[in-house]
Structures are given as structure tokens and as C-alpha cells.
Amino acid sequence: MKILVADDDSVSRLMMKRILQQSGYEVITAENGRQAVHELAHEGGPRLALIDWMMPEMDGPSVCREVRRTHNDLYVYMLLVTSKESSDDVVRGLEAGADDYLTKPCHPAELKARLHTGRRILQLEDKLVEAREEMRFKATHDALTSLWDRGAILSLFRRELSRSEREHTPVSVLLCDIDHFKRVNDEYGHQTGDEVLEEVSTRLLGAVRSHDAVGRLGGEEFLIVLNGCGSEDLRARAEHVREAISGSAFATSCGSVSVSMSVGAITIEHWDKSMPIEPFLKYADEALYRAKAAGRNRVEYAQLPVAV
């Protein structure tokens, strides 16, 4: 585990570095407070820090305050190392954002014990963050396909329209529906139907860019938001998505299953904040209906009325 040792005294830095390396730490050093803040701000930087109270440019409490003010990612556990022993000084250091303190000269056994406590706290924090992210994922993603769920993809669509309005860029949407999906469930069973839905989701994600958004609206219907995609690029993009589904059969537990998809596509070049998104979805749905009526496994394109 990485640990930062911040001390303006080179002898103290070297001694502390040797003790910590013997305990298996990867030691990063800083000789002043500003350098310490810089090292802790790095992505993948140390999450444990031993910070001397008295340092040039920024003292230890100032380093703690700055890290707490600017560090919004993973928690950094900081111990102030000081010769100050008064209660007022200890309180001042802790109020600045330090988690613990050590009095000079540091006894190696006490140092290791306090760092072990810090590591336990960081491990607990990591578990809490992991649990929070898992809950957030479950709250916004479809349980079967792991795509954005209906509420999340519609929210992303709204946000993308707002961004496009600010930046004067187009947004395109593909409303996709698996053809004859009921027949798949009736002929092969719902387990195979679920396998098809999962594979469709994987193929849709593979057919779009990493910054596009794919969501499951429900059943066999999907919504794809293509940011920055204008009408001139939409046809190629939409056909690529369609072919990703129909281009090869799906391997399932019941054998090979051929699936196709119909698509209703629309490009929004201009959007006003006061406009709801529902009319755009309605036009895309009407285009999807035309694709179904025209024989399925095809893309139909919606034309927005002039007033929209």
C-alpha cells in the first residue's frame, strides 16, 4: 500500500521511509507541505499519509485542510507527526482534518499500530463505497440486461438534449424492438427469451460508441441515445445497429436462434428547454410502427414537423 511521508528534514524522512518499507509499504516522500498536497491529489496517489506539523510553504494542519477541501475521491487517512503535546494543539490538528497524531520521536511499534488502524478504516470505507455503488447501479440499471433502466435512459435522454442545446449539437435516438419476440418465448421458453435479451443487449452496446447510451424501456424494447449524431450520420449508425442483431444467429441453451430488430430513428437538431421529450419518443415510435408494418428487420426515419 502507498504511504506519503511529508517532512522537511531529510534525515527524518529517510528513517521513516526505511521503517515503512520494512513493513511492506510503498513510500512516497515530500519535503514541504505544498508538495505533499500535490502528491495526495494524484489519481492513484497514497491514501495513507504521515505529515510533519512544521514544514515550509504549508504546515501540517494546512495540508490536512487543503486535502479535505479538494479531495473528493477515495478517502485519505492522515496522521500528523508533531512535537506539540498540548491538548489545544492536538484539537487544532484534528479539527484541520487529521485523523490521528503521533508525538516525536515516533516509536516504530506505535507507528505500525496506528497505521494498521488507518488501514482498517480505509478498508471499511472501501466496502461502504462498493456497497453504495452497487446500490446506485441496481437503482438505475435493468436487472436482467444490466443496461440503463427505463427511468435512467429517459433521464439521460433529457440531459443529452440539454447538453446539445447548450453546445448546438444534434442528438439522434433509436427506438428498437425485437421482431416476433413472443414467438421466441412461446417456441423456446422464457429462459431462452432471457438469453436472447441478454445477447441483444451485449450486441447493442458493441454497436455504439462508448459515450452513447443504451437502455431497456421494458420487454423487448430498447432506446439508444446517440449524442452528437446528426441526420447525415444517422442512417449508417442505425443500419449498423440493426445488422448487429440480425447479422448472425444467437447461441442459446436451446440451440441457435435467429433474431432481427426493427428500428424507429429520429434526429433532433434543435430543442427548447420548455419542450418535453415525449413528442420525440412518439415520432420515433411511429417510425418503429412503420418499420414493423413494412416487413420488420428494417429502419424507418421520423421527420419532425416544422413547429417542433
Contacts of 151 (CB under 8 A, 6+ apart): 140
Residues 6+ apart with CB under 8 A from 57: 32, 33, 34, 35
In single-letter form, the type of residue at position 256 comes to: S
Distance CA 222, CA 212 (A): 13
Task: Give exposure, 199-235, as e/b (b: 16+ Cβ within 10 Å).
Answer: bbbebbbebbeeebbbbbbeebbbbbbbbbbeeeebe
CA distances from 292 to 161, 221, 237, 241, 273 (A): 27, 13, 19, 16, 32
Query: Quick one: DSSP state of residue 46?
Result: -
Q: Cell digits for 86?
A: 498540548
Strand partners, 264: 175, 300
Please identify which residue in the block is written with the cell numbers 441496481: 138
Active-site residue, 220 included: yes
Q: How far apart are CA 88 and CA 28, in angstroms?
A: 30
Indicate the helix (H) or strand (E) that contains 51: strand 48-52
Contact yes or no for 212/227 (Cβ under 8 A): yes
Catalytic residue among 31, 66, 160, 220: 220
Q: Cell match 448487429: residue?
A: 244
What SS3 class is residue 4?
A: strand
As annotated, the active-site residues are 220
